[in-house]
Amino acid sequence: MDTITGYHKQFLEYRGEMFLELLLKNMATILFILFILLVWYLIDKAIPYLMMHIFQAAGERARNTVYKDDEIRRAWLMYRMSTLRQLTTQMLRVLLATVMCFVILNAIGINIKPILAGIGIAGLGISLAAQNLIRDFINGVLIIVEDQYNVNDWIQIGNYQGTVEHFTLRLTRLRSLEGNLIIIPNSTIQDVINYTKDWSYTAIYVTIPYEGDYAAAKKILMELADETVKQGDPKIFPNPVFNGITEYAQNGIKFRCFIKTAPGYQWRVGYKFREELHKRYTEAGIKFAYPAVSNYLESSDPAVLAEIAKSQEPRSAQKPPETGNQRQGN
């Protein structure tokens, strides 16, 4: 019995010596792993804090650019910043965890090349199976990061126009003028026209006949434009732009002016401006030009061509119709 106990003690001492030798031999690796874990912990805790402060500052600056009475747009802007902050934080934490795991595995002597190859193959399979979903997600992130549009913006995507009601990382929802809900996957969005981004223009196009009084028409237009920008509305910006005559068209003289407004306010200003302009032109006796209409007739029949040529002859060159007295005289 004493012999067995002695062997047991020797075995435990041997194992202790082996463990101590292994510990001392790999002390550098163990300390490195502990250091990596500490760095991992600190960075993981710091990422949300840093992202919160960065996006709060960016959100406040962007929020101050939106008009105070547009609470829906301001609230959605802060929500978008919050979503972007959470997304960025999670992506950074996942990236950090992945890098740290590979560093630890490599430190303890595990070959990470087969693991990387396996992850690459698995990622390729997943990307092929869900490529549309991945494209939706990536494009949704780019829409948010690039601030292409927000809720309440009036935009055009392809052949669709409408107000942005809601958008996620996968879908964008528009409400058309007819009240139709248009749902567009983000992966299909290529070209976007935003009519309510930062600022807008109210474009006033006018065409009067050539015999009309262009000087009077221009004067009335510019007076009305100056009155519009000086009425004290903060959503209407000063210094309207008058381009002068832009074209000698088939039906008359074309000219235009632009009034800069807050985003989404250009239509309201335009409706009121055109009504008042029509009223003042009517009072001044200035007429708008009618749209030009041209009719083209193609024919190779000589009889038809002769009839058309006859109808276009001057009335004085045509033989007058015979009267009853002339017929009796003959």
The full set of domains in the chain, from first to last, is 2-129 (1.10.287), 148-194 (2.30.30.60), 200-284 (3.30.70.100)
Q: Is the confidence at residue 195, as pLDDT, over 80?
A: yes
pLDDT value at position 125?
A: 73
pLDDT value at position 143?
A: 84
Tokens linked to 54: 């960065």
pLDDT value at position 329?
A: 45
Among 137-146, 158-167, 269-278, the range with the most confident prediction by mean pLDDT is 269-278
Amino acid at 220: I
Query: Where does the pLDDT of residue 325 fall: very low under 50, low under 70, confident under 90, or very high at 90 and above?
Result: very low
Tokens linked to 155: 């935009």
Predicted TM-score (pTM) of the model is: 0.52
Q: How far is CA 79 from CA 64, 94, 114, 151, in A?
A: 15, 23, 42, 11
Query: Where does the pLDDT of residue 216 fall: very low under 50, low under 70, confident under 90, or very high at 90 and above?
Result: very high
Reduce the DSSP state of residue 244 to 3 states and report it.
strand
Tokens linked to 127: 């990307």
- Lay out the sheet containing 154-157: strands in order across: 181-185, 171-175, 160-167, 154-157, 192-194
pLDDT tens-digit readout, 253-291: 999 999 999 887 888 999 999 999 999 999 999 999 987
289: which DSSP letter?
Answer: P
Among 84-98, 151-165, 213-227, 258-272, the range with the most confident prediction by mean pLDDT is 213-227
What values do phi and psi take at 91, rounded to 5? -65, -40
User: Using CB atoms within 10 A of its CB, is residue 83 exposed (0-12), middle (13-18) or buried (19+)?
Assistant: middle
Query: Where does the pLDDT of residue 121 fall: very low under 50, low under 70, confident under 90, or very high at 90 and above?
Result: confident
Q: How far is CA 46 from CA 51, 89, 93, 101, in A?
A: 9, 10, 10, 19
Q: Closest Cα to residue 155, out of 264, 39, 278, 2?
A: 264
Tokens linked to 121: 């193959």
Helices (H), the chain: 2-25, 27-64, 71-107, 113-129, 131-146, 214-229, 266-284, 302-311, 324-329
Q: What is the mean pLDDT of residues 209-219?
A: 93
Spell out the residues 6+ positions from residue 277 whose beta carbon is closer than 8 angstroms to its own.
204, 206, 220, 221, 224
